Amino acid sequence: MIYTDTRDSSVSVDFKTAVLNGMNPQTGGLYMPVEIPLLNKAFLGKTPEPSFRDVAYESAKLFVEGEINDSNLQSIIADAYPFNAQVVPLDPVSYVLELFHGPTCAFKDFGARFMARVMSYFNRDENTPLHILVATSGDTGSAVGSAFHNVPGLDVTILYPEGKISKLQEKQLSTFTGNVRALRVKGNFDDCQRLVKTAFTDKELRQKFRLSSANSINISRLLPQSFYYTYASLVVKNRSPRDNKIENPSIIAVVPSGNFGNLTSGLIAKEMGAPISGFVAATNANRTVPDWIATGKYTPRASVQTLSNAMDVGSPSNYERIRHMYSLEEVRSLFASYWLDDKGTMDAIKSCHSRTGYIIDPHGSVAWKAWDDIRRNGMENLMGGLSGNINEPGLTPSIPDWASSIIEKRAVGILLETAHPSKFGDTVLKAIGREPSMPDRLEKVLALPDNSIPMTSTYTDFRQWLMDNLE
Ligand SMILES: *Cc1c(COP(=O)(O)O)cnc(C)c1O
């Protein structure tokens, strides 16, 4: 597969180059496959549906052809995914897609684990390690650290702002050993990012060490997220006639979004042939994309802090990829959009629990509320001309092509649950009066010793530390 770039269509590189560069250093653009390959129809039509790993393998094959052979790809997939994405019915026409069964209990494990193994594969003939530097404000760091832990040929240094992330997140980051370590920086997230960026432009440092990033814009984190969309849509398509008597349902993926990587992966799955009719772009008060869909004007802005903090992004990087794939009109025909404030998020955790018994996290709850409003009467009102006010939380005034499937009751929702609720125990406790139980793998982390290394926010200190400690 050939990869091009969102800013310059004359760019043409192989998968390895796209993965190791992360972002195109010449243009600042993001890599995309020149065309989205189609999955085999017979494969998509199998009953019962293929397993998650089979979907992962068949999909990944199309993106790495000629660069990673079949048996190596099989091992990469097996090693990356000892866990599954799970489809859990909430009511006859709503399914939660649980993406938190990986080691760090958030969906970022799916992308990070594939990326780590692919990078290790591409580094296999080198005799020096590839050094990954990553600045994190929370979930990304733990997913990356865990994904790269003990992966041969790779060495990871994570920078996080001391005291500015949740206790559990800090614990997840500070307890790595071996080839992964965390520096707790006296400063904020921007300081961490500045240190990493400065290191990447430091010629002398780069001559001494082979450096790479594990940024969320890396194409090798985006492609594997398409696997669970394809898998879940096949499961739901097969289950639907039994659960709700709808043959060939209009399947809508409702995606709690921040940087819009997850949603972009859904678009890739749809283009590959997954039976998905449309999407709901669901955000918190960082509503840059809903505003764009409503008004046609794209205005990135500073982020505001919310209860669903992993979605606090005011200038989503993957907007550039969405625009590379579709025109505004196409986006409007495919997406409904929705935003929710913190009060609505609390109410949503509570009403989801009281109505279905399911304990949802503050990110997934935004998706749940969006879907609930859409099928109650949100879409009907919109179609009847009762358009919403974009400054109030709720459905954005833009009607997708699939709107009639809601009114005709042919639609089924897949709501992406991006993190385990116990990662946000305090918020959930406030909403429903009890704390969700914690999976063993998180509980265990709490008991591990803190190995984090103190660091100032001064570049010369960081540089000296790298010089003294990296191999
Ligand atoms: C990162 C994250 C999101 C947002 O995903 P994007 O790909 O940035 O849109 C949502 N929920 C959780 C729990 C996350 O960690």
> What's the pLDDT tens digit per position in 23-82?
888 888 999 999 999 999 999 999 999 999 999 999 999 999 999 999 999 999 999 999
Q: What's the 7 CA to ligand 1 centre distance in angstroms?
A: 24
Q: Which of 105, 139, 416 to mutate to test the pocket of ligand 1 (most atoms within 8 A of CB)?
A: 139
Q: State the Cα–Cα distance between residues 236 and 251, nearest whole angstrom.
A: 8
Atom of ligand 1 nearest to the CA of 258: 9
Any atom of ligand 1 within 6 Å of the Cβ of 303:
no
* Å from CA of 260 to ligand 1 middle: 8
CB of 418 closer than 6 A to ligand 1? yes
Q: In Å, how far are 44, 107, 167, 372, 420 from 416, measured between CA atoms?
A: 21, 9, 25, 14, 11
Q: In this structure, are residues 456 and 185 in contact, taking their beta carbons and an 8 Å threshold?
A: yes
260 close to ligand 1 (CB < 6 Angstrom)? yes
Please give the distance, rounded to the nearest whole angstrom, from the Cα atom of residue 429 to the centre of ligand 1: 21
Cα of 419 from ligand 1 centre, angstroms: 8
Closest CA to 290 of 335, 252, 320: 335
- Is the backbone peptide bond immediately before 290 cis, with ω within 30 degrees of 0? no
**Cβ 32 under 6 angstroms from ligand 1:** no
The pLDDT, as a whole number, for residue 418 is 97
pLDDT at 23: 85
Tokens 């009762």 -> residue? 386
pLDDT for 4 equals: 97
Q: What pLDDT is attached to residue 146?
A: 95
Alpha-carbon span 132 to 154, nearest angstrom? 7
Is the distance from CB of 58 to CB of 378 less than 8 angstroms?
Answer: no
Q: Whose CA is nearest to atom 14 of ligand 1?
A: 310
Instruction: Give the atom of ligand 1 at the shortest distance from the alpha carbon of 259.
Output: 8
What is the 3-state secondary structure of the chain?
A: CCEEECCCCCCCECHHHHHHHCCCCCCCCCEEECCCCCCCHHHHCCCCCCCHHHHHHHHHHHHHCCCCCHHHHHHHHHHHCCCCCEEEEEECCEEEEECCCCCCCECHHHHHHHHHHHHHHHCCCCCCCEEEEEECCCHHHHHHHHHHCCCCCEEEEEEEECCCCCHHHHHHHHCCCCCEEEEEECCCHHHHHHHHHHHHCCHHHHHHCEEEECCCCCHHHHCCHHHHHHHHHHHHHHHHHHHHCCCCCEEEEEEECCCCHHHHHHHHHHHHCCCCCEEEEEECCCCHHHHHHHHCCCCCCCCCCCCCHHHCCCCCCCHHHHHHHCCHHHHHHHEEEEECCHHHHHHHHHHHHHHHCCCCCCCHHHHHHHHHHHHHHHHHHHHCCCCCCCCCCEECCCCCCCHHHHHCCCEEEEEEECECHHHHHHHHHHHHCCCCCCCHHHHHHHCCCCCCEEECCCHHHHHHHHHHHCC
Give pLDDT < 50 ranges for the chain.
Answer: none
Mutational test site, ligand 1, from 173, 257, 307, 415, max ligand atoms within 8 Å of CB: 257
- Give the mutation target among 264, 283, 311 for probing the ligand 1 site: most ligand atoms within 8 A of CB: 311
State which ligand 1 atom lies nearest to the alpha carbon of 423: 13
State which ligand 1 atom lies nearest to the alpha carbon of 361: 13
Contacts of 197 (CB under 8 A, 6+ apart): none
The number of the ligand 1 atom at minimal distance from the alpha carbon of 255 is: 9
> What pLDDT is stored for residue 389 in this prediction?
83
Whether the CB of 310 sits within 6 Å of ligand 1: yes
The verdict on the CB of residue 108 being under 6 Å from ligand 1 is yes
Q: How far is the CA of 104 from the centre of ligand 1 (A)?
A: 13
Output b/e per residue, 278-303; b: 16+ Cβ within 10 A. bbbbbbbbbbbbbbbbbeeeeeeeeb
Ligand 1 touching residue 259 (CB < 6 A): yes
Determine whether the shortest distance from the Cβ of 321 to ligand 1 is under 6 A: no
**Ligand 1 site, residue 363, Cβ cutoff 6 A:** yes
pLDDT, position 423: 93
Contact 68, 121 (CB under 8 A): yes
Q: Is the CB of 416 under 6 A from ligand 1?
A: no
139 alpha carbon to ligand 1 midpoint, in Å? 8
Which residue has the CA at smallest separation from atom 15 of ligand 1? Answer: 310
Query: Which residue's C-alpha comes closest to atom 2 of ligand 1?
Result: 310
Q: How far is 136 from 435, CA to CA, in rounded Å?
A: 26
Indicate if ligand 1 lies below 6 Å from the C-beta of 257.
yes
Nearest CA to ligand 1 atom 1: 310
Q: What is the pLDDT of residue 469?
A: 95
- Ligand 1 atom at minimum distance from 261 CA: 7
